[in-house]
A and B are shown apart, each in its own frame.
Chain A
């Protein structure tokens, strides 16, 4: 066995892969949230729909997103495999167990499995439909001098080759864009209370997974220090287990209650 295989298949190496992929996914959560905050703009989806085109066509982002999908799958199945192996280390259990560890830390695989189910639903709700289904189109006419945008929904059945077609009218000083209207799809999907509930509850799983997971990844990397560990724990709790899940949960709630 090469030194690298030996290292990465040791108990510590296996965990190193969990920590590195987990932290990569944490950065993804931050970027994805910031991008999606454009859903809250009251502009008929102008910013968001343009952003969706950019994210699915710009080559560098496309590569990063496929790496991201691969790492989610790797993290999920590697984590479940480690959990399965760890269970084999205690073939006969105890009659009585009084736990002295946090309930989240003990149930990372269950929380992760909820996340995996969520991700499948989420990807088929929006990603799959955006790429493969006949979506409605919307037309935005922007007055370049003032920045005023006029929104017109295209009639049902309208379709075009590209996700986005841009044209200019020099005389009128306007820019016209016709894009796939993912914004309406999101807005419409979140009129379903069951889907809204599912999304919001899944964000609890994110919160609990990262409540333990974020600081745990640093411990796995060996980054434990009296100066910095409290900061890492603070970021893990307040940013990754509170702010980010709340931000995500706010989206379905916003469309259900306010749109």
Chain B
């Protein structure tokens, strides 16, 4: 296959960027999207040109590092699939593919397709944790958890923090991510001690980072590679509004 690429090139956070055109020959349909970029970068290095910077780590859909906005969709055309798990068989010979970085005021571009997602880390640090006693781990069966709750918590915990929800949302809202992180803990007994402060602090941090507000368009859930459900956003609204009303701070 031959693939024509239009890729966002930007030197650093201070400069402005533009789309550059590349042609990649001998692309195998079995290559992953990132492997196609590896082939292109190797060629660019051989030609003494700057390779394209992009994020990646596990390349098996679990770490949340890869982050390409492909032909107008975060992580490309397939549902429930990260960029690293997207294969060239999803495209046709001669296709032109436009690849851009996540766009959000809260995710500034560091270089080319790499954006700074530490805003997510600060949101997690503000409340996405549970307090545990030191010493031996207690027996798991000491804490009975209903299967329905466990399943919902598990589905929320599947979020890999990639930020595709922000990239897809017209408001660059981080609600799906934050709702997944609040839900996975609010549903479990271990999450109860910090339940109220978690919802309040994580939402406050999310707002401080400059993400937009949710308008329930549902683009996030449609594009999320882990298919996190909008029900989590409703739960976050409940958790936040409930905590605002009932918590002791005046």
**Cβ-neighbour of A105 out of B69, B106, B215, B241 (below 8 A):** B215
Q: Which residue of A lies closest to B249 (CB)?
A: A3
B207 CB within 8 Å of chain A = yes
Are B219 and A99 interface neighbours, CB within 8 A?
yes
| B-contact bits for A218-241, CB 8 A (1 contact / 0 none) | 011111100000000000000000
- Interface 9-residue window, one of B30-38, B81-89, B128-136, B232-240: B232-240
The size of the chain B interface, using a CB distance under 8 A, is: 51
Given the complex, which residues of B lie within 8 Å of A223, measured CB to CB? Answer: 234
A216: shortest Cβ distance to chain B, in Å? Answer: 4
Given the complex, which residues of B lie within 8 Å of A2, measured CB to CB? Answer: 250
A223 to B73, CA, bound (A): 29
B199-215 contacts to A (CB < 8 Å): 203-204, 206-207, 210-215
A164 CB within 8 Å of chain B = no
A1-29 contacts to B (CB < 8 Å): 2-3, 6-7, 10-16
The size of the chain A interface, using a CB distance under 8 A, is: 41
**Cβ-neighbour of A100 out of B106, B215, B223, B242 (below 8 A):** B223
A101 CB within 8 Å of chain B = yes
**Cβ-neighbour of B171 out of A10, A90, A98 (below 8 A):** A90
Q: Given A91-B105, A96-B100, are A222 and B238 neighbors across the interface (CB < 8 Å)? A: yes
Q: Given A7-B244, A12-B203, are A89 and B216 neighbors across the interface (CB < 8 Å)? A: no
30 contacts between A and B (CB under 8 A): A10-B240, A11-B203, A11-B206, A11-B212, A11-B213, A12-B237, A12-B240, A12-B241, A13-B241, A15-B214, A15-B215, A86-B170, A88-B212, A89-B171, A89-B210, A89-B211, A90-B212, A95-B6, A96-B98, A96-B100, A97-B72, A98-B72, A100-B218, A106-B217, A212-B216, A219-B234, A219-B237, A220-B214, A221-B237, A222-B237
List 8 additional contacts besides A86-B213, A105-B217, A219-B234; criterion CB under 8 Å.
A15-B213, A86-B170, A86-B212, A89-B171, A101-B218, A219-B230, A220-B216, A224-B231
Which B residues are closer than 8 A to A by beta carbons?
6, 19, 69, 71-73, 98, 100, 103-106, 168, 170-173, 175, 203-204, 206-207, 210-219, 222-223, 230-231, 233-242, 244-245, 247, 249-250
